Amino acid sequence: MKPDTHPKYKEVVFQDLSSDFSFLTRSTMSSKDTIKWEDGNEYPLIKMEITSHSHPFYTGKHKILDTGGRVDKFRRRYAK
């Protein structure tokens, strides 16, 4: 097997910018930003706009917006 074929799989911290929620996991992603974690070690920091902690589907705040009756129009068109 060729050396250095696969990317490095290391521990990184993902941070949700909208809710300031962070979690430590392993990933192949890298970043120049770092953060000091609860265990005292420093890890690369990946900033994300939305995660399962703030996504409306996972938080139960998901709403269906029907602007202009598009759902009713679709149902009338394809009702058989």
Output 56 or 23, whichever has higher pLDDT.
23
- CA distance readout (Å), 69 to 61, 62, 73: 21, 19, 6
Enumerate the β-bridge partners of residue 30: none
Output 17 or 53, whichever has higher pLDDT.
17
Question: What pLDDT is recorded for position 55?
Answer: 64
Question: What pLDDT is recorded for position 70?
Answer: 76
C-beta separation of 46 from 10 below 8 A? no
Whole-angstrom Cα distance, residue 23 to residue 25? 7
Please write the tens of the pLDDT for every residue from 1-50.
788 888 889 999 999 888 888 999 999 998 999 999 999 999 999 998 87
Output 2 or 58, whichever has higher pLDDT.
2
